[in-house]
Amino acid sequence: MNTIGVIFDLDGVIVDTAKYHFLAWKKLADTLGFEFTESHNELLKGVSRVRSLEILLDIGKVHISDNEKQEYLISKNEDYLSYITKMGPEEILPGASNLLDNLDALRIDYVLGSASKNAPLILKQVGLYNRFKGIVDGNSVSKAKPDPEVFLIGAKKLGLKPQNCVVFEDAIAGVEAANAAKMISIGIGDAQTLNRAHYNFNDLTELPEGFFQELLTEKV
Ligand code: BG6
Ligand code: MG
């Protein structure tokens, strides 16, 4: 077994589902009668579904009952599902498949560590479900990112100490969760936004050749 393992966030690292979350949340905001912009949508990245609704309602300064909240959570997810059930392998982000191939070649195990309750469905849609050694998703955690729980469960699935786990994340909350777990954090996206990450790349194609070999040498 290798001395390092990898934990991948899903949305924004392996697939670009933020656009579908945006369309579904925007439809709800339209129904409630306020504007929801792409920059508002940034605030929801990496955040759980329930927390996302709270942030959205704050943006619109809307107060609704708990029952209505439950109804809106269901209808938002139904809209979101109408998009993701049409996804296919062409929606895998650049560099992701190549990276998984490289990890396989190096015999480095990898698991998923996502806040999404739809993660298994999305992975099946894009044909990557069977490649992961384990899946930790929004159904398996009680505390959302930036709490490290999701990644600590991932480390257990890998059978590795947290400090030997490498996390790929596109959200501030996710980088914070990885750092809180004492893992090696890699920010994918804007380096300024993700300035707490140990390493930064604009996307997965930018990962230098030999990156994991170097980490392995350090960890032996
Ligand atoms: C995260 C996304 O991966 O999953 C968030 O970045 C989303 O935007 C969260 O709110 C929960 O997703 P889902 O699929 O359970 O509604
Ligand atoms: Mg993400």
Q: Please, which residues have CB less than 5 A from ligand 2, an ion?
A: 9, 11-12, 46, 170-171
Atom of ligand 1 nearest to the CA of 118: 14
DSSP-derived 3-state class of residue 103:
helix
52 Cβ inside 6 Å of ligand 1: yes
Encode pLDDT of 129-176 as tens digits.
Answer: 999 999 999 999 999 999 999 999 999 999 999 999 999 999 999 999
Amino acid identity of 135?
A: I
**Closest to 26 (Cα-Cα) out of 64, 90, 68, 76:** 76
Where in the chain are the domains?
A: 5-15+92-219, 18-84
Mutate to test the pocket of ligand 1, among 21, 43, 82 (most ligand atoms within 8 A of CB): 21
Strand pairing partners for 136? 113
More confident residue, 49 or 220: 49
Question: Distance between CA 49 and CA 98 in Å, rounded?
Answer: 30
Please check the confidence at residue 180 and state whether its pLDDT lies above 80. yes
pLDDT digits (tens, 9 = 90+) for 48-88: 999 999 999 999 999 999 999 999 999 999 999 999 999 99
Using DSSP, state whether 143 is helix, strand or coil: coil
Read off the tokens for 195. Answer: 């300035």
Active-site residue flag, 9: yes
Q: Cα(197) to centroid of ligand 1, in Å?
A: 20
Which ligand is nearest the CA of 138, by number? 1
Q: Ligand 1 atom closest to Cα of 76?
A: 16
Question: Any idea what DSSP says for residue 207?
Answer: S
Q: 5-15+92-219 — its CATH code?
A: 3.40.50.1000
CA distance to 58, 63, 116, 213, per residue, from 101 (Å): 42, 48, 24, 14
Chain-wide mean pLDDT for the chain?
Answer: 96
Contact criterion met (CB below 8 Å) for 124 and 14: no
Q: How far apart are CA 143 and CA 75, in angstroms?
A: 23
In this prediction, residue 217 carries a pLDDT of 85
Ligand 1 pocket member 41 (CB < 6 A): no
Q: How far is CA 131 from CA 24, 87, 148, in A?
A: 29, 18, 23
| CATH number at 18-84 | 1.10.150.240
Q: Which string of DSSP letters, residue by residue, matches 46-77? A: T--HHHHHHHHHHHHT----HHHHHHHHHHHH
